[in-house]
Amino acid sequence: MQTLDDILIPVQREWNGWRTAAVRLGDLQEVHWLQPGGALVPLIHAYVVCRSFVSGDLPHDCTLSPPPHRLLVCVLKKHIAPAAYLELSRRADRPQAIPAHTPHMPAPAAPVPSRRLGAG
């Protein structure tokens, strides 16, 4: 039987980007709310290791440092099943420590307070 962590989730680097990859919900790390520039409301974001892609690909440079790379990705409500969105919302609402950045990725942006109305 498939668990929520096994559900495939389409992710993208930018909230308004067109390139997507599919990852398992369980592979999304540090799920949080973030309101990127141009977005009207905070959206669900998370980190994922580039080797976790089940299908598709997201642009990133593997020549700067050896893989795997942690990438910040966006999850849009309209692209996933309601049960998966509810689970990601629950995880994003949990308080979490913000880890130090690594040399091949910028420090994570501070999460914004939860505002799910109209998200995605």
- Structural domain of 53: 4-93
| pLDDT-based confidence at residue 103 (cuts at 50, 70, 90) | very low
- Asked whether residue 77 is assigned to any structural domain, the reply reads yes
- Asked whether residue 47 is assigned to any structural domain, the reply reads yes
The residues pairing with 22 across neighbouring beta strands, listed in sequence order, are 10, 55
Nearest-angstrom CA–CA distance, 3 and 75? 19
- Asked whether residue 60 is assigned to any structural domain, the reply reads yes
Total domains, the chain:
1
Q: pLDDT tens digit string along 54-80?
A: 888 787 666 777 667 788 999 999 999
Nearest-angstrom CA–CA distance, 90 and 107? 23
pLDDT of the residue at 112: 54
- Contact yes or no for 43/75 (Cβ under 8 A): yes
- Asked whether residue 118 is assigned to any structural domain, the reply reads no
Cis check for the bond before 108: say yes or no (omega within 30 of 0). Answer: no
- Asked whether residue 29 is assigned to any structural domain, the reply reads yes
What are the start-end ranges of the H helices in the chain? Answer: 82-93
Residue 17 tokens, joined: 């980007």
Would the pLDDT of 49 be above 80? Answer: yes
- Asked whether residue 111 is assigned to any structural domain, the reply reads no
Residue 45 tokens, joined: 């974001």
- Asked whether residue 58 is assigned to any structural domain, the reply reads yes
Would the pLDDT of 108 be above 70? Answer: no
Would the pLDDT of 102 be above 80? Answer: no
pTM above 0.85, yes or no: no
